[in-house]
Amino acid sequence: MWQRNLLFASLSVVGLIALGSRLLSNDPIETPADFDAARYQQPEIRSVLDRVDGEFEAAWQEQGLTSAGLTDDLVVARRLSLGLTGTIPSLEEVRVLQSLPEAQRLEWWISRLLEDRRYADYVAERLARSYVGTDNGPFIVYRRRRFVTWLSDQLHANKPYDELVRELISDKGLWTNNPSVNFLTVTLDEDNKGKPDAIRLAGRTTRAFLGMRIDCLQCHDDNLGKMNLGTKDKSRGGLQSDFHHLAAFYGGVKFSIFGVTDGKDEYKYQYLGADEVEAIAPQPPFGSDFLPQEGTQREQLAAWVTHDQNKPFARAMVNRMWAMLFGKPLVEPIDDIPLYGEYPPGLETLADDFVKHDYDLRHLVRMIAGTKAFRLDSRADFEVTQEHEDAWAVFPLTRLRPEQMAGGVLQAASLATIDAESHIIAKLQRFNEQNQFIQRYGDTGEDEFDDRAGTIAQRLLMMNGSMVKDRTQPNPFLNATTRISVLAPTDEKAVETSYLAVLSRLPSAAEQAHFVELLSGTEGDNRSERLEDLYWILVNSTEFSWNH
């Protein structure tokens, strides 16, 4: 028996050593299938990025602002990982990035993320918040989880964004077999006689797909002219009729045991100040020339919304994807972009390029990530003011979302990448721990880009909560601290590995010297405890909890 135990222990040690040597050095992660080392040097892409960069440079010069310098490649990788997957790069991913030529790192990392199922799952959840909200809705006729999974499948296949939206607006059938119709069934309620709510759908359509808040017109005219919806007279405000003519496209939608179908019912509404209810014909609030004459009312609406000349559609997605990567949108609020007027640098150029490339979301991500604004440092050798952040002359500091905090802690505590290829037990554990953490930390809901200050409760959860505590305690099979303590050949390597795993950067000379001194001469449990303390400090640092 003792021989068997000794053999098992020996094999475990050998396995840990092999695993450690792999994780503490370069890991042979496969090259992404769509990786193109020369992509950013292609004339077509370079000319668009130069134009965007030139627009920002001109704006900075006009405002008398100096921009920060470019930041480190690993910082850019962390920003992309947080924005596209809701977590930070793993140590093994960082090691591969370090091994690549500098000119290839951005393209390699974006290609890897965009092909990773984590990207599709995470962005699908973020988009679903604007499409169907965060509530579970009427359970019998609505399946939010099915909807998000379907949306993730479309993103993973890189389905053109205009095709995806047309399906959301015009699809028919059961909410289980055709998950896209959950966009409509989420609005079903008894007060609307068992039909999808045309008013709510019209509001969702304009906010989510056009980046416009015309739902404020459902009760009254906008006499201040802020809506600026007139096509001939650009000075007039929005009218009640603008909104309800749009809602009328959803007026014929029916619901039965066969699911969502299109009927012939008229949309009726009693305007403010009117004596009686009246029938209202479907009509877009602007751009009537984009509306086709064939198809059902919803098919006509879908074609109008996604028409390549309907610029708000492209602007809205550029603004939303910019917000996901930067932590805040180009135009704030994110769903209140004016139809006419002055736009911030980059918005129109990126929107035109998005249309030109057939609404390819992966291409849009690459273009935003390739801008100088995205690769700027958040620090500078001059006093950084709010004006610098507002003008994108420095990378804006934004507080991490709850799922980014949870995802970051869980990934930092694992030297291996936690992704779709991970063992089912690891994925389930992450799912459960992340959900519990978000519930206690506080979800931001639909208004996810509203600036909210951190709370004392959130700080206490990070400092004393079970997830951070459990993930820094000794555990040779789950936690990075134990593995680093056992496998790092030197104190310097232990500190370096900890910084890369948690903060996605190398320690400064002062940081390295400070923590090496604390580890010097320690061994066994004492050494493990020192590394646990180091991990706890890094995870609870301000640097960890902000996108920068």
Interaxial angle between packed helices 91-99 and 2-23, expressed in degrees from 0 to 180 and rounded to the nearest 10: 50
Chain segment 328-371, per-residue pLDDT in tens: 999 999 999 999 888 999 999 999 999 999 999 999 999 999 99
Cα–Cα nearest to 393, from 61, 44, 139, 164: 61
Which residues sit opposite 267 in a β-bridge? 280
Map 25-49 to HEC letters: CCCCCCCCCCCCCCHHHCHHHHHHH
**pTM to 2 decimal places:** 0.89
Least confident of 394-408, 417-431, 450-464: 450-464
Query: What one-letter code names the amino acid at 236?
Result: R
d(CA 404, CA 358): 30
Does residue 521 or residue 313 have the better pLDDT? Answer: 313
Query: Mean pLDDT over residues 177-188, rounded?
Result: 94
Does residue 447 or residue 421 have the better pLDDT? Answer: 421
Chain segment 462-476, per-residue pLDDT in tens: 555 555 555 556 554
Does residue 116 or residue 422 have the better pLDDT? Answer: 116
The beta-carbon contacts of 466-473 under 8 Å, at least 24 apart in sequence, are: 467/406, 467/409, 467/410, 467/433, 467/436, 467/437, 468/409, 468/536, 468/539, 468/540, 471/409, 471/410, 471/412, 471/413, 472/413, 472/532, 472/535, 472/536, 472/539, 473/532
Residues 490-513 as b/e (b if ≥16 CB within 10 A, e otherwise) read ebeebbbbbbbbbbbbbbeeebbe
Does residue 112 or residue 273 have the better pLDDT? Answer: 112
Checking if the pLDDT of 414 tops 50, the result is: yes
CA–CA distance from 12 to each of 18, 486, 490 (Å)? 10, 13, 22
Checking if the pLDDT of 147 tops 60, the result is: yes
Query: What one-letter code names the amino acid at 124?
Result: A
Chain segment 222-255, per-residue pLDDT in tens: 543 444 554 444 444 456 778 889 999 999 898 8
Task: Identify the pLDDT of residue 75.
Answer: 98
| SS3 category, 482 | helix
- The pLDDT-based confidence of 9 (bands split at 50, 70, 90) is very low
Q: What are phi and psi of 400, to 5 degrees?
A: -65, 145
**48 in Cβ contact with 355 (< 8 Å):** no
Checking if the pLDDT of 110 tops 80, the result is: yes
Query: Which DSSP string do the residues of 338-359 spell out, in sequence order?
Result: -SSS---TTHHHHHHHHHHTTT
Listed by start position, the domains of the chain span: 2-30+72-112+397-547, 136-149+161-305
Task: Identify the pLDDT of residue 227.
Answer: 47
- Verify cis geometry, omega within 30 degrees of 0, for the bond prior to 43: no
d(CA 291, CA 300): 6
d(CA 272, CA 251): 19
Tokens linked to 176: 């289980």
Checking if the pLDDT of 316 tops 50, the result is: yes
**269 in Cβ contact with 263 (< 8 Å):** no
Task: Identify the pLDDT of residue 523.
Answer: 86
Which residues sit opposite 254 in a β-bridge? 261
d(CA 548, CA 394): 10
Query: Mean pLDDT over residues 148-163, rounded?
Result: 98
Task: Identify the pLDDT of residue 163.
Answer: 98
Query: What one-letter code names the amino acid at 230?
Result: G
Task: Identify the pLDDT of residue 331.
Answer: 96
Query: Mean pLDDT over residues 154-158, rounded?
Result: 98
Does residue 85 or residue 451 have the better pLDDT? Answer: 85
Task: Count other C-beta atoms under 10 Å from residue 45's C-beta.
Answer: 18
| SS3 category, 322 | helix
Cα–Cα nearest to 55, from 341, 389, 372, 394: 372
Query: Mean pLDDT over residues 184-201, rounded?
Result: 83
Tokens linked to 249: 């496209």
Chain segment 118-142, per-residue pLDDT in tens: 999 999 999 999 999 988 888 788 9
Chain segment 477-514, per-residue pLDDT in tens: 557 888 888 889 999 999 999 999 999 999 999 999 99
| SS3 category, 546 | strand
**531 in Cβ contact with 519 (< 8 Å):** yes
- The pLDDT-based confidence of 18 (bands split at 50, 70, 90) is very low
Chain segment 273-309, per-residue pLDDT in tens: 778 889 999 999 999 999 999 999 999 999 999 999 9
Task: Identify the pLDDT of residue 6.
Answer: 43
- The pLDDT-based confidence of 103 (bands split at 50, 70, 90) is very high
